[in-house]
Chain A
Amino acid sequence: MLKIEDTEDGIRCIGLNRPDKRNAIGVEMTLALEDVLLKTKTDSTVKAIVFHGLGGHFCAGMDMKDFFDSSTRPPDVLLRARAATEHWRIQLLRQMPQKIFTAIEGYCLGGGLPIVAASTAVVAQREAKLGLPEINFGFVAGGQILKAVGEVMSPRGLAYATLTGRPFNAEQAQRWGLVTQVVESDPFEQALILARASL
């Protein structure tokens, strides 16, 4: 679910690795995210973190099949996964002693945005599509996601994204404060450069 690689100079690269689901966060991935952040938090050899997605997308949000109305997961598994999700997105991301950098290509939606919001710098490929489409699914985006995103995004951008559910591009995301740099090339390479510069 995650591809974790450490560079020699102390950068931990965490790749969301579920390309057939556009890296949607399912039960296994959310448990893995909690686990890697818990371990990284106390690992003094890790100086910076770079999040990225494998397979052409960063993250399509939370996996509808796993977490919502039609979930076939056993209740105890679902309960544990939900607790893990709130743990990493409400607490761990905000407590990490390392600086976080994020590379976005393809989709970056809903449940993937707290990672973006917790980042020191976000590099997005020009064709990337960001968004908060929850309203199109007939529900309100979680307060915990909106609070995280609202800490970096302009209020009017946040209102537009949540009320319309429309995706918006990398340039717009940069204007609204969610993205630091828009690139034509591989955003992961550029995020690594920024992470190295921060060491």
Chain B
Amino acid sequence: MGASPYAPVDLVDGVLTIRLPAAQASIASELTTSLHVNAMNNLMALLSFAQADENVNVIVLRDEGEQFGASLGSAADTDPEVNHQFVQGLRDLPQPIVAMVHGQIHDQALAVLQAFDIVLATGQDDWATLSFPASELEEQTYKLARELASKDPLILRFTKKTVQQVASIAWEDILSFTTVQQAEIKSLQAGCPSPRALAIESFLAGKSKPGAGA
């Protein structure tokens, strides 16, 4: 996966980090907006690569500027369709996606933030899943991301999909949904050692405590 001048990336231990560019307020506003539309398009291209990359288990999006999403905000103002596609692209990612939000958030980026599974922030705002002091945010974000990346990727993706879908499934159909999903997972795991059987065996032998998160 190649780096982009507007969206530097790195992939370490299954965690793909995408850095949003800082908003460039010193440049004329039309040029700023143009740069930001380019940045958003670059991001969308990156996300489509990430979606298909089996080495990417988790995606972390962070902002190099002082206001999260400020660089996306002006693009969204100008082209709502691009913004809509971007949010949808985030939602459709099979991997969990984590936002690391330092400080404030740009108004227009609030809609973008809704597409994230987990939001770690320095503020106590409603949109944050968990809040940390600024000095701990990066450490906590990557601790969580590495933890997610260490889980069975298939189960991680199916868990995300289930969380996204259950609200729209009627109660009378929920059991069928679960049955079909379990069959699909079983089929995809066929011929491989079952992580589930191993985890349960380890738990029953007293070697692990998955309920306690360990």
User: Any chain A CB within 8 A of the CB of B5?
Assistant: no
Q: Residue B196 contacts which of A138, A162, A165 (CB distance < 8 angstroms)?
A: A138
**Is A133 a contact of B211 with CB atoms below 8 Å?**
yes
The answer for the CA separation of A136 and B150 in the assembled complex, in Å, is 10
Among residues of A, the one whose C-beta sits closest to the C-beta of B185 is: A140
Q: Which of A70, A139, A163, A165 is close to B160, meaning CB atoms less than 8 Å apart?
A: A163
- Any A CB within 8 A of the CB of B3: no
| CB < 8 Å neighbour of A156 from B117, B148, B166, B169 | B117
Are the C-beta atoms of B213 and A143 separated by less than 8 Å? no
- Determine the main DSSP class of A at the interface with B: helix
Asked if B118 CB lies within 8 Å of chain A CBs, one says yes
A146 at the interface (CB under 8 A from B): yes
CB-CB under 8 A for A143 and B160, given A69-B196, A150-B166, A165-B210:
no
Q: Is the CB of B169 within 8 A of A143?
A: yes
Contact A157 B129 (CB under 8 A): yes
Interface check B197, CB cutoff 8 A: yes
Cα A65 to Cα B203 with chains together (Å): 10
Instruction: Tell me the bound Cα distance from A141 to B96 in angstroms.
Output: 16
- How far, in angstroms, from A48 to B148 measured CA to CA in the complex? 41
Interchain CB contact under 8 A, A137 and B174:
no
Q: Give the distance in Å from the alpha carbon of A134 to the alpha carbon of B200 in the complex.
A: 10
Task: Give Cα distance in the complex from A86 to B171, angstroms.
Answer: 11
Q: A90-B171, A135-B156, A150-B167 are in contact. Are A167 and B213 (CB under 8 A)?
A: yes
The residues of A that contact B118 with a CB separation of less than 8 Å are 156, 159-160, 163-164
Number of B residues near A (Cβ < 8 Å) is 48
Residues of B contacting A47 in the complex (Cβ-Cβ under 8 angstroms): none
Say if the beta carbon of A166 comes within 8 Å of chain B: yes
Among residues 12 to 54 in chain B, which have CB atoms less than 8 Å away from a CB atom of chain A? Answer: none
Contact B200 A68, beta carbon cutoff 8 Å: yes
| Given A146-B162, A147-B171, A70 and B198 contact (CB-CB distance below 8 Å) | no
Q: Which residues of B contact A122 (CB under 8 A)?
A: none
Stretch of B73-81, B102-110, B175-183 on the interface side: B175-183
A137 and B199 contact, CB distance less than 8 A: yes
Number of residues on chain A facing chain B (CB within 8 A): 43
Cross-interface CB contact of B200 among A137, A140, A156, cutoff 8 Å: A137
Contact between B163 and A159, CB atoms less than 8 A apart: yes
Q: Does A15 contact B (CB under 8 A)?
A: no
Given known A141-B162, A150-B166, contact A163–B96 (CB-CB < 8 A)? yes
Taken together as a complex, chains A and B put the C-alpha atoms of A110 and B159 apart, in Å, by 14
Q: Is A64 an interface residue (CB 8 A)?
A: yes
Partner of B194, one of A69, A157, A159, A166: A69
Task: Known A136-B213, A138-B196; judge A143-B178 contact (CB<8 A).
Answer: yes
Q: In B99-121, which residues have CB < 8 Å from any A CB? A: 116-119
9 closest pairs, A vs B, by CB?
A136-B210, A138-B195, A138-B196, A143-B178, A147-B166, A138-B199, A159-B117, A166-B213, A156-B129
Chain B residues engaging chain A, CB cutoff 8 angstroms:
96, 116-119, 127, 129-130, 144, 147-148, 151-152, 155-156, 158-160, 162-163, 165-167, 169, 171, 174-175, 177-178, 181-182, 185, 194-201, 203-204, 208, 210-214
Binding site for B on A (CB under 8 A): 60-61, 64-65, 68-70, 86, 90, 94, 107, 109-110, 129, 131, 133-144, 146-147, 150-151, 155-160, 162-167
